[in-house]
Amino acid sequence: MFTLLEMMTGKDEMQEGQIRKIIHVDMDAFYASVEQLDHPEWRGKPLVVGGNAERGVVAAASYEARAFGIRSAMSSILAAKKCPQLIFAKPRFDRYKEISSTIRDIFYEYTDLVEPLSLDEAFLDVTENKKGFKSAIYIARKIREQIRETTGLNASAGVSYNKFLAKTASDLNKPNGQAVILPEEAEEFLENLPVEKFFGIGKVTAEKMHSYGIHSGKDLKQFSLQFLTSKFGKSGLHYFNIVRGVHLSEVQPNRIRKSVSAENTFDQDLFHPTELSEVLEPIVNELLRRLEKTGINGRTITLKIKYSDYSIQTRSKTLEQYPEPQKIRELAQELLFQEELKSPIRLLGVGVSNLNITEEHEHFGRQLDIPFDEL
């Protein structure tokens, strides 16, 4: 019987069904790094992609800009205030897709089990791989080296036995780093991990967990499945499993998504039309950022409303043509006020469906459905 360490590092042959070897590769500040690669005069300087000093939203920030507290989805005006010398670069998605395609081709040299999350990150299942390498750690290092040699860009990687842990590991040694979470290390690692560091647990959910005394994985493990589902709905089962290192989702190549959406849960219920109109705008901005990032568009626009009593209502409109961004903005506002609101609102979401999915998007287009407040 082989040890778990041997199965992860390839010190001996793995028996079928014992364990998977999953790699999560994440390009470091991808859009901003591409701009600095193509414009040497911008290297080493704070730079963001998207918007300008007067309006817009940051799509990506260089590490130099992040040192000023600038992050993606931040308003460009706020970013400029934080860093007056900030450089604003116009997005060039054709260029990003070109480099993404090159990186994807590198992935396929090792395995056909590649699940892109966006242009700049993907899961790879290398349990059985084309190179015949036994060590997933070695494969991740070789992929990162090859990306650097081919594109001039840096990538970080995480290695583990499931997607959740691989994704978590890829953030541990950024930028230009690599980490592994071995099966025998997972329990202790997760117990010591702050809940806000768990992939998929963002600021709002973390604050709610803190209100119940849940600050770390060890705290989270003390609560029953019944309690977690009563407080967090269907996500409760996910939290119950991941803190125990259980995540059974397989790497799914060429999966076509059916919708793209963004949503936000408010700190307090809202009812006044002016307030609702204002909070809807950043949600639509986030949706448009995701659409632009993936190159996807859809003909059906849907508004999701969750009221203070947790009842949910959706309102949709389907167009004959794929809409421009401004049309999506207008329709979201129109759907919000097309009929009288019955009570205060705790969540708004906007999504598009009936997508223009093509073979190209099967390779690069899928992105995880992460609520707006979980970014």
Active site residues: 121
Q: Render the burial of 251-282: b for 16+ CB within 10 Å, e for the rest.
A: bebeeebeebbbbbbbeeebeeeeebeeebee
Residues 374 and 262 sit within 8 Å (Cβ to Cβ):
no
- Of the candidates 202, 162, 209, the one whose C-alpha atom is nearest the C-alpha of residue 23 is 162
Spatial contact of 155 and 102, defined as CB atoms under 8 Å apart = no
Cβ atoms of residues 117 and 30 within 8 Å? no
Identify the DSSP state of 258. Answer: S
Cα dist from 4 to 133, 134, 163, 346, whole Å: 17, 13, 17, 45
**For the chain, what is the total number of helices (H) and then of strands (E)?**
15, 12
Residues 226, 228, 232: CA angle, nearest 5 degrees: 125
CA distance linking residue 209 with residue 218, whole number of Å: 13
Rounded CA-CA distance 119/107 in Å is 13
The DSSP bridge pattern shows strands 178-180 and 47-49 to be: unpaired
Structure tokens at 140: 């991740």
Pairing of strands 259-270, 47-49: unpaired
Q: E strands, the chain, where?
A: 22-27, 47-49, 60-61, 87-89, 114-118, 121-125, 155-160, 178-180, 259-270, 298-307, 312-318, 345-355
DSSP 124-168: EE-SS-TT--S-HHHHHHHHHHHHHHHHS--EEEEEESSHHHHHH
Tokens of 279: 């909070």
